[in-house]
């Protein structure tokens, strides 16, 4: 039984089934009327010994339903679960789904631990027990399974208005998070405040003009990917199009069939730039990408580590990739404000710069800025190290209220 979070991953698995000796399988997706009766029959035949093997591949959504769970529980023995992007099993959406009682289970993920979700991380370990094999990105680059890359951090200052808004939200978050015994409504309000404060960094108005300036200077515009904040796709596409560049959006409004067409055009260079939000985070291969602009990133390493993985896929004629990362930091902030923002932005810098071809050349401007606030230690603190620091600062509390207060 192979489960995947997105329907397009079913197609990717099917393409490789012959490599693992699978030539007969059943798809579990698109509603139970498509598979329920057939699955019931195949399970009966397997249990009675008329089938040696039943291979199922489907979505988390369909395989997490009570109808599917009831049927799969009737399998007599020898059940193997393979969970692609297994970090999704930890979400609250699937906490009632019973994936624990398989005779064998294998989880696949570049980011198996869930960010600020200890309960979700525990659900994953309850199913898969422990990490038994790791293949690092450094190994993949060294062994020519991924493309080497250059990393170019670009400092983007907030406007005075944005700084004021950030500090106002920080005050509100601090007051609310400091209360004891938060109600469900308080937790929801806190989550809203955290999202709004994060959006100030993600949508800083100085980012788009800098992007346009950098793309203008880029000699070869082809095979360029731009990640922007939610709600910013149209404006970004228009600004790039005004330069005479062939650009297209790649977001939730683009259906699966059109996506394949866009990716083919992008690979051939007929579309030079794709502008995305989250649709290219996981599972979608865009190996032709040579230049990637990260205008907007959350603090969650799952997002930016997965995005980097998209950019570093091997492709003919591609010897290296360029990652241009927009970091919202400046030297005219109050210490507490700078420290708060740096805790969000710097772990991504530490992660990206650590494996870059030019990892030493790009550190000096960032080091000088951090030194201004006596925070040079942030140069090398990666996301999960910062996670533990923040937990300790909040007395070991890992609930929503402790995040970046």
Distance from the first to the final alpha carbon of the chain = 42
Instruction: Work out the average pLDDT over 214-237.
Output: 95
Residue 315 pLDDT class (50, 70, 90 cuts): very high
pLDDT tens digits along 348-365: 999 999 999 999 998 999
pLDDT of 111 reads 86
Mean pLDDT over the full length of the chain: 91
Q: What are phi and psi of 85, to 5 degrees?
A: 50, 55
Angle of CA points 244, 247, 253, to nearest 5° = 145
Asked if pLDDT for residue 399 goes beyond 70, the answer is no
Residue with tokens 């939000």: 277
DSSP label at residue 366: H
Residue 285 CB coordination number (10 Å): 15
Asked whether 83 and 89 are in contact (CB, 8 A), the reply is: yes
Instruction: Work out the average pLDDT over 276-301.
Output: 83
- Overall fold of domain 2-134: Rossmann fold (3.40.50)
Residue 405 pLDDT class (50, 70, 90 cuts): very low
Q: Which of 200, 245, 194, 237 minimizes the C-alpha distance to 218?
A: 245
pLDDT tens digits along 13-72: 998 998 989 999 999 998 889 999 999 999 999 999 999 999 999 999 999 899 999 999
pLDDT tens digits along 156-174: 999 999 999 999 999 999 9
Residue 395 pLDDT class (50, 70, 90 cuts): low
Pick the more confident residue, 396 or 318: 318
What residues does 155 pair with on adjacent strands?
Answer: 327
pLDDT tens digits along 95-137: 778 787 788 999 999 889 998 889 999 999 989 989 999 999 9
d(C-alpha 293, C-alpha 215), whole Å? 9
- The yes-or-no answer to whether 2-134 and 145-159+205-383 have a common fold is yes
pLDDT of 404 reads 45
Instruction: Work out the average pLDDT over 237-242.
Output: 97
Of 206-215, 264-273, 302-311, 390-399, the poorest mean pLDDT is in 390-399
Asked if pLDDT for residue 322 goes beyond 50, the answer is yes
Asked if pLDDT for residue 311 goes beyond 50, the answer is yes
Residue 4 CB coordination number (10 Å): 24
Which two three-digit tokens encode residue 149? 């890359």
pLDDT of 154 reads 97
Q: Domain ranges in the chain?
A: 2-134, 145-159+205-383
- What's the predicted TM-score (pTM) here? 0.89
Interacting residues of 8 by C-beta distance below 8 A, sequence separation 6+? 256, 259, 283, 284
Residue 380 pLDDT class (50, 70, 90 cuts): very high
d(C-alpha 240, C-alpha 234), whole Å? 10
Packing angle of the helix pair 383-393, 335-354 (nearest 10 deg): 150
d(C-alpha 141, C-alpha 393), whole Å? 35
Cα distances (Å, whole numbers) of residue 77 to 12, 49, 58, 67, 127: 28, 11, 20, 19, 17
pLDDT of 180 reads 84
Asked if pLDDT for residue 176 goes beyond 60, the answer is yes
pLDDT of 8 reads 80
Asked if pLDDT for residue 287 goes beyond 70, the answer is yes
Domain 145-159+205-383 part of CATH 1.20.1070.10: no
């Amino acid at each position: 039984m192979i489960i995947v979070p997105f329907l397009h991953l079913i197609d990717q698995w099917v393409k490789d089934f012959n490599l693992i000796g699978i030539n007969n399988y059943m798809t579990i997706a698109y509603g139970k009327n498509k598979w329920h009766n057939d699955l019931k029959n195949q399970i009966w035949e397997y249990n009675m010994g008329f089938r040696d093997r039943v291979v199922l591949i489907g979505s988390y959504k369909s395989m997490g339903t009570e109808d599917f769970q009831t049927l799969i529980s009737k399998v007599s023995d020898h059940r193997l679960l393979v969970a692609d992007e297994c970090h999704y099993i930890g979400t609250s959406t699937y906490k009632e789904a019973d994936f624990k009682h398989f005779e064998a289970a294998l989880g696949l993920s570049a980011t198996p631990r869930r960010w600020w979700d200890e309960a979700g991380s525990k659900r994953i370990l309850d199913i898969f027990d422990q990490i038994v094999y790791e293949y690092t990105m450094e190994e993949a680059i060294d062994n020519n399974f991924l493309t080497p890359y250059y990393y170019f951090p670009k400092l983007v200052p907030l406007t005075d208005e944005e700084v004021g808004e950030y500090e106002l939200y920080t005050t509100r978050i601090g007051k609310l998070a400091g209360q004891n015994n938060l109600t469900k409504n308080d937790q929801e309000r806190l989550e809203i405040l955290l999202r709004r404060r994060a959006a100030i960094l993600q949508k800083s108005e100085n980012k788009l003009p800098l992007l346009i300036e950098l793309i203008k200077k880029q000699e070869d515009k082809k095979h360029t990917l731009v990640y922007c904040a939610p709600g910013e796709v149209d404006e970004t596409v228009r600004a790039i199009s005004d330069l005479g560049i062939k650009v297209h959006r790649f977001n939730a409004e683009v259906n699966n069939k059109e996506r394949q067409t866009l990716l083919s055009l992008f690979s051939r260079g007929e579309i030079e730039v794709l502008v995305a939000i989250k649709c290219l985070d996981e599972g979608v291969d865009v190996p032709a990408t040579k230049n990637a602009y990260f205008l907007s990133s959350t603090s969650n390493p799952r997002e930016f580590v997965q995005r980097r993985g998209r950019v570093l896929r091997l492709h003919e004629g591609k010897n290296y990739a360029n990652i241009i990362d927009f970091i919202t930091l400046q030297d005219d902030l109050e210490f507490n404000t700078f420290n708060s923002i740096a805790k969000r932005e710097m772990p991504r810098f530490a992660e990206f710069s650590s494996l870059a071809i030019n990892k030493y050349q790009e550190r000096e401007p960032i080091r000088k800025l951090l030194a201004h606030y006596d925070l040079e230690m942030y140069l090398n603190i990666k996301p999960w190290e910062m996670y533990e620091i923040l937990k300790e600062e909040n007395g070991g509390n890992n609930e929503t209220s402790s995040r970046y207060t």
